[in-house]
Amino acid sequence: QVQLVESGGGLVQTGGSLKLSCVASDHTFSNFAVAWFRQAPRKEREFVAAISWNGGRTEYADSVKGRFAISREDAKKTAVLEMNSLKPEDTALYYCAAGLDSGTYDDQYEYDHWGPGTQVTVSS
């Protein structure tokens, strides 16, 4: 079973940028769609962005469109979430997830493999 580990979280001021990485344990990663979800305190986990197994399709939550960009580099077993113009409401624990590509990307139940998360905190 592929394992995922996120990194790159931290504390940043409003308007700043962060780059999150998700590294997989093996090359089966290249067969999976990959997504980022986030969960803020006392809120449900929500979809942020996803990329199809071949990188040909990306989807974003309306709240992050134009600010976040997802990409993947399968040779490095890595997916990246670049986050710009960060806002305090982006503060959350960010999770990387991977699963077989069904064409539905914003549903957390489509993903079988999850990382432990990396914390992003945006100060006002």
pLDDT of residue 106: 96
pLDDT of residue 111: 97
Cα distance between residue 87 and residue 122, in whole Å: 6
- Beta bridge mates, 114: 97
The tens digit of pLDDT for each residue in 52-90 reads 999 999 999 999 999 999 999 999 999 999 999 999 999
